[in-house]
Amino acid sequence: MKKVILDCDPGHDDTLALLLAHANPAIDLLAVTTVAGNQTLEKVTRNARNVMTVAGIRKTLLAAGADRPLVRELSTGEYIHGVTGLDGYNFPAPTVPVDKRHAADLIIDLLHANDKITLIPTAPLTNIALAIRKDPTIIPKIEEIVLMGGTNSTGNVTPLAEANIWIDAEAADIVFRSGVPLTMVGLNLTHQAKATPEVVDRIRKLDNEVARMAVGLIDFFASTYKKYFHFDAPPIHDACAVARVINPDIVKCEFVNVVVELKGTYTYGATVSDMEGITGRPANTNVATKLDFDKFWDLMIEALGSY
């Protein structure tokens, strides 16, 4: 069982990542930490509380972190995730408390209190960068960082940049240069994880409240992805990073050099992936390339059915 901290900004796909991480027996979910990204910090933290309340997640710590990127102004994904950041389901009042510590401090404390921990950031990397900068002695205690972010092809906020990296590329640069074992589960992989009508029908048949929540959220996500990206079904990006931790065979990777572009006029936030070894720079990142669609959704639906 892997000890895991999920750093997220719920978010529709973050919600499914959280539900998968909590339900799967291969993961011991120590904490959920939140960061501004898909919506403001206040909203994404409330969303995490909401989801954890509906799912009955009581023993996992929850802490709020950075309310803005390290350098730039915050840009949210309201046009995709809605005014609340998690439109599509009517949540009851949340009952899950928020730890008083800043998320970066909680991450530091848990790393010092445990053996190796895997970090799964599915949001801008601000909290992770803050923790590394505040206490570099945690670096050897991180087993791996498996992040949803970046791309080795086209982006979703600029032609080359994916949203989680673009929102705080300076934080991403710190993480990619940290020396921690790193896996980048980017758009080129997550676009293979679409919640097709057949998949949604399977979830609907589970007939529990968490599954009903998931269907409502996926339906809303589908509507915005169709409107803005012309997708026939929405990709469930963030759960792919969790699936990689549970079973690496579900997400195939290539080990290559990746750097984050910080200065380009048109390329800020690009994750420059040297897939052909052209630069001669040493490999530092497992770049996800191929998803086993059936195994991924079997894993996800089994998790949703367990609530």
- Reply yes or no on whether 81 is catalytic: no
Strand order in the sheet with 27-34: 61-64, 27-34, 2-8, 117-121, 142-148, 182-185, 285-291, 251-260, 271-274
Q: Could you read off the pLDDT of 256-286 as tens digits, one per residue?
A: 999 999 999 999 999 999 999 999 999 999 9
State the catalytic residue, choosing from 22, 81, 191, 237. 237
The CATH architecture assigned to 2-305 reads Alpha-Beta Complex (3.90)
Whether 10 contacts 51, CB under 8 Å = yes
pTM for the predicted model, two decimal places? 0.98
Q: Could you read off the pLDDT of 118-171 as tens digits, one per residue?
A: 999 999 999 999 999 999 999 999 999 999 999 999 999 999 999 999 999 999
**Cα–Cα distance for residue pair 126/147, rounded to 1 Å:** 12
Which tokens belong to 75? 């840009």
CA distances (Å), 49 to each of 64, 125, 307, in order?
A: 11, 20, 16
pLDDT at 62: 98
**Cα–Cα distance for residue pair 307/302, rounded to 1 Å:** 9
Q: Could you read off the pLDDT of 212-231 as tens digits, one per residue?
A: 999 999 999 999 999 999 99
**Percent of the chain topping pLDDT 90:** 99
